[in-house]
Structure 1
Amino acid sequence: MPVRTDRQVADGLLPSPVPVRFVAEDGTAVEPPAGYPAPEDGRLLDAYRRMVTGRRFDRQATALTRQGRLAVYPSSRGQEACQIAGVLALRADDWLFPTYRDSVALVARGLDPVEVLTLLRGDWHCGYDPAAARVAPQCTPLATQTVHAVGMAEALRRKGEDAVVMAFVGDGGTSEGDFHEALNYAAVLNAPVVFLVQNNRYAISVPLAKQTAAPALAYKGIGYGVRSEQVDGNDLVAVLAVLDTAVRRAREGGGPFLVEAHTYRMDAHTNADDPTRYRPAGEVEEWESADPLARLEAYLRGRGLLGADGAAAAREAAEEFAARLRDAMSAEPATDPYEMFDHVFADPTPQLREQRDLLAAELAARED
């Protein structure tokens, strides 16, 4: 019988030589590559509404940080196409493993925005129930969630579920050992997991050129035997088409899939960052002209799928969403300082009990 050569196997793993795209920066359609069916129009309209709300949520969260309502907020303005497409490609019973920058994705997933921001406000480790939402806690350490995602994917398969796991990671995370361990682990297990790399070109202030010499981050999957692709991360149509294929392939037993989405973080790394120290203003302006939200809106309008009334309704709904968030975040959270000692050990250590007693004495002294 014919035997596949190493070259044939490698060709099946290689990403496209240029990022996949369906829509140009001005909103006009381009000829997409074969193999990626275009998403249905209804899903694109749903994605547009979620992107409008996500953008408004991001702006509101940034304002809440300036007002002292949040301790920190990592904006994802400019990366909404990646986050919304990632959520829409999943079923309700699939799992999502997000990073600290993926709050927009969690809101699009249907989580309470106040619960999403609980971590960033600093009053609890995670504001939502991960098991109920099938969303892991937002991960701050780089790439550690990718290994967890593979473990979850294998666990779901052993339970007989056909659910898929998607792990978000940034370009900086691909330089971490956990990321490479996760790719290898996933490939060996043929795990139903999709890795979505949001390559926004900077790991805080470190540019991509100082992180890797690879022609694209998508090529990092090949050495581990992981099917890989690169896509224009500001083209929601393309990102959704590629992720639909990746998720379907993983669900049907095709194994892990690595997708690199080329995008850009328009704002600072967080409110504590000064991006003018490491990137030129002209670069930001260039990427703002490729705004994913404006691109999708122009595409939908050009095809007659979205009119002025529809766009206005989406913006109005987003403003109402932001108003509800403002009101909810204006209320002081109910906190219990003793909670910091809970869930550390089933049987608290003597040192932990001593620390708790010291806190109790200090609080009692303040009351006196």
Structure 2
Amino acid sequence: MIQLLAPDGTLREDGRAPLDVTPALCRDLLRDMVLARRFDEEALALQRQGELGLWLMSLGQEAAQVGSVRALAPGDYVFPSYREHAAARCRGVGAAELLAQWRGVMHGGWDPARYRFHIYSLVLGTQALHAAGYAVGVRLDGADEIVLAYFGDGASSQGDVSEALNWAAVAEAPIVFFCQNNQWAISTGTSRQMAAPLHRRAEGFGLEAHLVDGNDVLAVHAITARAADSVRRGGRPVFIEATTYRMAGHSTSDDPRRYRSDDEVESWRERDPIARLERLVRARDWAGPEYFDELKAESDRVAEQTRAACLALPDPATDDIFRFTHTEETELLREQREWLEVYHSSFTAH
């Protein structure tokens, strides 16, 4: 497994993933992870207070997401699943846009073309096929971009993902598949999901494959940058398995205490990706008290802005049910919408 930063904050070298580790890079990556976690925590609080219908936390997976997405070019296109909040924030997606779907006011909260970041896919593994198809289009167009697709270990058990890996390999699509192996597919552990490591399975399809410490943001950044460069130059599609851990439940509807032990969670807490990078930054004196004070203040502002953005989201118009069921409103839907408008106006009149 590729690792550049040990849990105790010690740096090491690995020729498979060389990286120029600078103070500025570490400060930037640490900031991204800290702010993403604060946003995630505030979203959880909003759900518990009844302001969101559901939330899926990215707690513990910040390094896998931030390290990978920051290794891409601005024009590269990303296909997430439904837990990539840290990656979305790095792409500029705002709090209101991220929360809208979970508040139930729209089906997708942002313009994918603007951020080069697709809307969330809640159907398990389906985004892998979308990404592979898009990547084939990129190759046929000769466009100067690559594609990165996120999914989890649970999604890798879906047929869609196997089809996507095979299709991408055969078509020589410019794509990087990034699997966040967070050890649990809801309540099913990896030992009950697969008999061989995921990256080995990818090699069987003809992809270049790597195993990386997903809680090491530097290693993730380095191997994703290498993969992106290789694919961009016409190399084989790449599969990256990032070993990480889902610290929270699968969703706010899940109680992880029913299927995993406190000792297991605590063992992974000691490998926390944020604490790991902070140890390095502090040990090397790459950031002073001013940096950490400002980061704390900024994270507080993120929490305040997240709450305000959520509460300010407008309720959807009932008309939208009819207008956006199809690309063009059908005659029957138009008649139903107009009937409902008359019905609503009768209450207003009296």
Q: Same fold (TM over 0.5)?
A: yes
Measured at CA, do residues 207 and 29 of structure 1 come closer, stay the same or move farther in structure 2, by a change above 3 Å? same
Distance 2:327 2:302 in 1: 40
1:122-143 CA distance string (max 9 Å, x none):
1111111111111111111111
- The residue number in structure 1 matching 2:136 is 154
Is it true that 1:318 corresponds to 2:299 in the alignment?
A: yes
For 2:248, what is the secondary structure of its paired residue? coil
Cα RMSD after superposing both structures? 1.8
The offset of 1:323, in angstroms, is 1.2
For 1:169, what is the secondary structure of its paired residue? strand
Measured at CA, do residues 75 and 358 of structure 1 come closer, stay the same or move farther in structure 2, by a change above 3 Å? farther
The offset of 1:316, in angstroms, is 1.5
> % of aligned pairs identical?
40
- The residue number in structure 2 matching 1:89 is 71
Count how many residue pairs are aligned between Structure 1 and Structure 2: 348
The offset of 1:349, in angstroms, is 4.6
Is it true that 1:301 corresponds to 2:261 in the alignment?
A: no
Q: Which amino acid aligns with 1:183?
A: L
- The residue number in structure 2 matching 1:49 is 31
- The residue number in structure 2 matching 1:33 is 14
The offset of 1:229, in angstroms, is 0.5
Measured at CA, do residues 354 and 284 of structure 1 come closer, stay the same or move farther in structure 2, by a change above 3 Å? farther
Measured at CA, do residues 64 and 161 of structure 1 come closer, stay the same or move farther in structure 2, by a change above 3 Å? same
- The residue number in structure 2 matching 1:58 is 40
Q: How is 1:317-336 mapped onto 2 (pairs within 5 angstroms)?
A: 317-336=298-317
1:102-148 CA distance string (max 9 Å, x none):
12210121111111111111111111111111111111111110111
Instruction: Judge conservation of contact 1:84–1:104 (CA < 8 Å) in 2.
Output: yes
Distance 2:336 2:263 in 1: 52
The offset of 1:270, in angstroms, is 1.1
Distance 2:151 2:211 in 1: 14
TM, length-normalised to structure 2: 0.94
- The residue number in structure 1 matching 2:100 is 118
Q: Does 333-342 or 242-251 show the bigger shift?
A: 333-342
Q: Does 189-198 or 321-330 show the bigger shift?
A: 321-330
- The residue number in structure 2 matching 1:103 is 85
Measured at CA, do residues 348 and 224 of structure 1 come closer, stay the same or move farther in structure 2, by a change above 3 Å? same
Measured at CA, do residues 271 and 29 of structure 1 come closer, stay the same or move farther in structure 2, by a change above 3 Å? same
Instruction: Judge conservation of contact 1:89–1:244 (CA < 8 Å) in 2.
Output: yes
Instruction: Judge conservation of contact 1:39–1:237 (CA < 8 Å) in 2.
Output: no
- The residue number in structure 2 matching 1:70 is 52
Distance 2:328 2:304 in 1: 43
The offset of 1:152, in angstroms, is 1.4
Instruction: Judge conservation of contact 2:181–2:244 (CA < 8 Å) in 1.
Output: yes
Q: Which amino acid aligns with 1:117?
A: L
The offset of 1:326, in angstroms, is 1.5
Q: How is 1:201-350 mapped onto 2 (pairs within 5 angstroms)?
A: 201-214=183-196, 216-349=197-330
Q: Does 116-125 or 321-330 show the bigger shift?
A: 321-330
Measured at CA, do residues 157 and 276 of structure 1 come closer, stay the same or move farther in structure 2, by a change above 3 Å? same
The offset of 1:69, in angstroms, is 1.5
Instruction: Judge conservation of contact 1:28–1:302 (CA < 8 Å) in 2.
Output: no
For 2:266, what is the secondary structure of its paired residue? helix
Distance 1:252 1:45 in 2: 30
TM, length-normalised to structure 1: 0.90
1:272-294 CA distance string (max 9 Å, x none):
11111111111111111110000
Q: Is there any run of 5+ residues in structure 1 with no aligned partner, and where?
A: 1-18
The offset of 1:342, in angstroms, is 2.4
Distance 2:289 2:182 in 1: 31
For 2:81, what is the secondary structure of its paired residue? coil
The offset of 1:70, in angstroms, is 1.1
Instruction: Judge conservation of contact 2:95–2:309 (CA < 8 Å) in 1.
Output: no
Q: Which amino acid aligns with 1:164?
A: I
